[in-house]
Chains A and B, each alone.
Chain A
């Protein structure tokens, strides 16, 4: 039994250390910025959010559920108004042209879906792509 318990401890340690590295090559900030730029360029009604922890589409379903409930979201675009890029940890949200961009509403929706929003991207004709950090979560 002692050997067996040692075997279990070894397996558990292996499980926790094999994925200790924190970043995948696909998710570098440069690649994420580029993906946001490609999606948002000439789309002033779109918002992109770097969402820490978003690596699995199935786990991230709640992002679409919570975000698409916002009144300003245009559900006729993307998938019910929301697309997920789990490779780059980006959430894209389409807003109705006359509704404005609900930056804080999306932030709250991402929290409620179980993730941490880090910063968001917007496109304007004057500035092009602009990146703004979200305040650190109080949750």
Chain B
């Protein structure tokens, strides 16, 4: 795209950017533990996201205007009973950098760092135990609490209150694992309401190791639509220490047509969790 066209699409809109709310429906620890009474744990995940172009709708309006986010997620869980647990997720933006056009069409680099928004959830689970199979239904009310400071020209986290609800189903045999969930979030204005759906397929390649293929869909009131998928590896180091690595490729990334945005992007995450 020529600089002239680029100005036509984006000029004067730089101040209108909104961050994309990270939905992240996964729950500690590693989406599977603890299911025992009185169990608790915490995990730390490092996540890097690379977004290659600036988009508006499905169109690239700023090729090569990138966005890179590096975040640390500190997450904890306590299980009172196998049917009820409380989780907390607090992100820390270690380094965020995005390239956007200014009013004159020139590239401007913006930065962000600091604490993001806290997410609390109360997953209510109904487990079922069968011969050679186990699983659960999950209903999880969630609350987003604005916790970060709005002190940068670029804010990864929206800094608004939000409430969400998700419904999930998962089942596992000695060899296979499958999980699916759907949910929605409603935020304070001007953030749009968002919906999400995920489908995870896993193969228990060893007693202490699982390989997964995870797919995520999300869309919102402003016509955003993301589809990403990729492999994940879970490894139990010992009873207390658990490791998970995942990578997701951005297959479809349509942002709102109201303003330019960077879309979904490819995502790499590595985490270690401790459970007791």
Which A residues fall within an 8 A CB radius of B?
8, 11-12, 15-16, 18-19, 22-24, 26-27, 52-59, 61-66, 86-87, 89, 112-116
Contacts and interface: CB of A to CB of B under 8 A. Distances in A.
A115 B217 contact: no
B259 interface: no
B174 A24 contact: yes
B1 interface: no
Contacts of A16: 169, 171, 180
Contact of B36 (A19, A27, A66): A66
A11 B36 contact: no
Contact of B199 (A15, A62, A86, A87): A15
A59 B236 CA distance: 11
Given A15-B199, A19-B173, A55-B134, A62 B129 contact: no
A89 B175 CA distance: 13
Given A8-B182, A18-B178, A24-B173, A57 B208 contact: yes
Contacts of B174: 24, 26-27, 55-56, 86-87
Interface string B103-127: 0000000000000000000000001
Contacts of A115: 129, 134
B249 interface: no
A54 B38 CA distance: 19
Given A15-B178, A86-B207, A59 B33 contact: yes
A61 B132 contact: no
20 contacts: A8-B217, A11-B197, A15-B178, A16-B180, A19-B173, A19-B178, A22-B130, A52-B129, A53-B130, A54-B134, A55-B133, A55-B134, A56-B134, A57-B236, A58-B32, A59-B33, A62-B35, A62-B39, A63-B36, A113-B35
B131 interface: yes
Interface residues of B, number: 42
Interface in B180-239: 180, 182, 197, 199, 204, 207-208, 217, 234, 236, 239
The 6 A-B residue pairs with the shortest CB-CB distance in the complex, in nearest-first order: A62-B36, A53-B129, A53-B134, A114-B35, A114-B82, A27-B132
A62 B133 CA distance: 17
Contact of A11 (B39, B199, B276): B199
Contacts of B130: 22, 52-53
B95 interface: no
A12 B133 contact: no
Nearest to B39: A62
